[in-house]
């Protein structure tokens, strides 16, 4: 009898436990957000929030930072900081050495030409008669979190991205997205690639018919607030501020005049109006693509820009930069309000981050603060290296290609002359290592041996990819910046980026632990209850997860 009662008790406990567990799982399932909205800002320093806080509206950055989980110490650690590599790192949860996007471009030895990381002539532009949509994510070697969401939901989750720059849109969307859209500077339209979209949606055609780029470009960029109130920035006519075309650095900015000089819409991308256009486009995605209509989580990423390619012409302390963020604050606030009203506050998870940070201009740091920084003239350094190699090994084209921080040697020529490739790598790397602005240089064969270095060498090891990276890679000293005679470089050596989670499942808190950009993907995976991306190198930020 006692044995029977004991067995019945065990059965009751088992049934009750399973019932409670099922109920908890059910509650956990219902708590999953219906929609994830990613807000990524190119070239965003975290300290912009502190500097401009008093001028922000309550429903934009202030809402995210006051009601979200704010990670205060997040870095993006890679050799070359740019929006292409940065976006790939954020959404894959692995470093460039694994996902393969080592830079916006790299040299292909087999094709003997420089490749852009999203160029793909197998696909064609959808939405305009240009080649700006001949692109795909095929060079991205890792799954993104959006890919995993698609796979886990058997393709039912809807995934979209909208950005000013093609690379940001493509790497945020991943390989499996329903749509990735970006701004075409030639046509002035939002376009896509046939990789994603076979038939251009009517709502996108209607959006493009509004001619936002053309209309906004014929309006001067004027400050949101009176210039006299911008006490957090330098004077508008600051002497060391280069400005557009090294000429125009004060408000109001005549964007149509700048467009006449470039003969395309690139200057438009540098203005707050371009961010407004992307915000409007993102809202159209939420309105027209059946987002959030079922229990399966959908994912929409919007990528804004901080003055785009003119970031370095004005810098973080400029009045233009402050004005950019005051406008952006309003646009983000409107996006948040729209999503919360449409889907319900409890159903939307937002995250805010950046795919790059921003450095102060060299002249500003040198002249105002006496810092030991300068410009590193790439072309002069390569010219000297070429002369050295010609004197040492004979007059030949020993350097096949170079870009900002790496050099590709001529392997065929080295082999033809019976020279040792690794010895040449050592010789050339050591030569560059002697320049004043160079922190250190590393030959590729040493990088191929692998290392767990977490110090100064870490960015190089985490970014080196065999068959894509050069024969030696080098780092510049802090504050130094590469320059060319006729080429503009949007360079930063700063790695500190913002990361905030807000909305469904998130409690307000400050998280002061040290984290990395690769930690975003596994943390989002945990919040969405999906597997982390394959080979993910990041860790879950446990303090974000509500227990």
Print the SS3 string covering 226-243.
CHHHCCCCCCCCCCCCCC
CATH number assigned to the domain comprising residue 198: 3.40.720.10
**Residues 333, 403: one domain?**
no
CATH number assigned to the domain comprising residue 438: 3.30.1360.150
Q: Spell out, as residue ranges, where the chain has pLDDT lower than 70.
A: 1-30, 451-454
**Residues 109, 241: one domain?**
yes
**Residues 354, 394: one domain?**
no
**Residues 473, 497: one domain?**
no
Q: Which long-range contacts (CB under 8 A, 24 or more apart) does 234-243 make?
A: 234/317, 234/318, 234/319, 235/319, 236/319, 238/318, 240/361, 240/363, 240/364, 240/367, 240/368, 241/313, 241/314, 241/315, 241/318, 241/361, 242/312, 242/313, 242/314, 242/361, 243/313, 243/314
Please name which of 115, 174, 168, 92 lies closest in space to residue 467, comparing C-alpha atoms. Answer: 115
Strand order in the sheet with 406-409: 399-403, 406-409, 472-476, 438-443
**Residues 478, 500: one domain?**
no
**Residue 247 counted as domain residue:** yes
**Residues 348, 264: one domain?**
yes
Question: What is the largest distance, in Å, between two alpha-carbon atoms of the chain?
Answer: 100
**Residue 6 counted as domain residue:** no
**Residues 314, 407: one domain?**
no
**Residue 331 counted as domain residue:** yes
Domain span at residue 454 reads: 375-483
Ordered alpha helix ranges (H), 351-377? 362-369
With contact defined as beta carbons under 8 Å apart, do 46 and 352 qualify?
no
**Residue 26 counted as domain residue:** no
Going by the DSSP 8-state scheme, the letter that residue 360 receives in this structure is P
Whole-number pLDDT of residue 532: 86
**Residues 410, 457: one domain?**
yes
- CA atoms of 530 and 296, how far apart (whole Å): 11
Q: How many domains does the chain have?
A: 2
Q: 491 in helix, strand or coil?
A: coil
**Residue 513 counted as domain residue:** yes
**Residues 379, 352: one domain?**
no
**Residues 284, 424: one domain?**
no
**Residue 387 counted as domain residue:** yes
Whole-number pLDDT of residue 451: 65
Could you write out the DSSP letters of every residue in 15-66?
HHHHHHHHHHHHHHHHTS-SEEEEEEEET--THHHHHHGGGS-TTTHHHHHH
Tokens 């790397």, located at residue: 429
Going by the DSSP 8-state scheme, the letter that residue 533 receives in this structure is P
Q: Looking at 454, 483, 512, which one is the last position of a domain?
A: 483
**Residue 335 counted as domain residue:** yes
**Residues 324, 354: one domain?**
yes
Q: 482 in helix, strand or coil?
A: strand
Q: Looking at 483, 506, 525, which one is the last position of a domain?
A: 483
**Residues 344, 411: one domain?**
no
Q: 216 in helix, strand or coil?
A: helix
**Residue 227 counted as domain residue:** yes
Q: Looking at 441, 457, 483, which one is the last position of a domain?
A: 483
Main-chain dihedrals φ then ψ at residue 349, nearest 5 degrees: -110, 125
Q: pLDDT tens digits for 231-253?
A: 999 999 999 999 999 999 999 99
Give the contacts of 75 (CB within 8 A, at least 6 positions apart): 495, 496, 497, 514, 515, 516, 517
Tell me the angle at which helices 520-528 and 145-152 cross, rounded to the nearest 10 degrees: 20
């Amino acid at each position: 009898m006692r044995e029977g009662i004991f067995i019945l008790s065990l059965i009751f406990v088992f049934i009750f436990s399973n019932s409670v567990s099922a109920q908890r799982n059910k509650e956990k399932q219902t708590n999953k957000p219906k929609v994830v909205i990613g807000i990524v800002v190119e070239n965003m320093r975290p300290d912009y929030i502190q500097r401009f806080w008093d001028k922000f509206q309550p429903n934009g950055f202030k809402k995210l930072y006051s009601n979200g989980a704010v990670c205060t110490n997040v870095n993006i650690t890679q050799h070359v900081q740019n929006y292409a590599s940065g976006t790939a790192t954020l959404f894959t949860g692995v470093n460039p050495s694994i996902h393969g996007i080592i830079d916006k471009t790299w040299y292909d030895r087999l094709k003997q030409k420089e490749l852009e990381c999203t160029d793909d002539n197998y696909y064609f532009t959808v939405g305009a008669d240009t080649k700006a949509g001949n692109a795909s994510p095929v060079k991205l070697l890792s799954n993104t979190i959006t890919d995993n969401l698609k796979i886990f939901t058997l393709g039912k989750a809807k995934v979209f991205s909208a950005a000013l720059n093609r690379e940001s849109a493509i790497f945020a969307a991943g390989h499996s997205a329903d749509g990735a859209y970006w701004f075409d500077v030639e046509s002035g339209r939002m376009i896509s690639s046939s990789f994603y979209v076979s038939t251009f949606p009517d709502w996108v055609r209607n959006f493009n018919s509004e001619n936002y780029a053309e209309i906004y470009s014929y309006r001067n960029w004027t400050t949101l607030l009176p210039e006299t109130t911008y006490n957090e920035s330098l004077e508008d006519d600051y002497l060391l501020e280069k400005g557009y075309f090294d000429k125009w650095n004060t408000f109001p900015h005549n964007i149509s005049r700048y467009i006449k000089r470039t003969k395309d819409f690139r200057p438009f991308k540098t203005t707050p109006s371009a961010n407004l256009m992307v915000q409007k486009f993102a809202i159209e995605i939420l309105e027209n693509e059946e987002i959030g209509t079922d229990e399966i989580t959908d994912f929409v990423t919007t990528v804004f820009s901080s003055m785009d390619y003119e970031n370095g012409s004005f810098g973080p302390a400029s009045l233009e930069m402050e004005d950019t963020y005051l406008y952006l604050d309003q646009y983000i606030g409107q996006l948040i309000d729209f999503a919360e009203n449409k889907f319900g506050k409890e159903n939307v998870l937002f995250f805010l981050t950046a795919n790059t940070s921003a450095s102060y201009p060299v002249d500003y740091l040198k002249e105002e603060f006496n810092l030991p920084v300068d410009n590193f003239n790439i072309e002069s350094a390569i010219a000297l290296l070429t002369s050295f190699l010609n004197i040492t090994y004979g007059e030949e084209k020993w350097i096949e290609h170079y870009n900002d921080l790496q050099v590709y040697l001529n392997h065929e020529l080295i082999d033809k002359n019976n020279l040792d490739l690794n010895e040449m790598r050592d010789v050339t790397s050591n030569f560059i290592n002697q320049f004043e602005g160079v922190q250190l240089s590393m030959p590729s064969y040493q990088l191929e041996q692998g290392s767990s270095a977490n110090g100064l060498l870490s960015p190089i090891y985490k970014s080196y990819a065999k068959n894509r990276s050069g024969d030696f890679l080098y780092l510049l000293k802090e504050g130094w910046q590469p320059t060319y005679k006729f080429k503009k470089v949007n360079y930063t050596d700063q790695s500190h980026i913002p990361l905030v989670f807000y909305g469904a499942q998130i409690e307000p808190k400050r998280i002061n632990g040290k984290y990395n950009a690769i930690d975003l993907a596994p943390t989002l995976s945990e919040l969405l209850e999906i597997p982390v991306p394959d080979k993910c190198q990041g860790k879950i930020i446990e303090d974000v997860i509500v227990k």
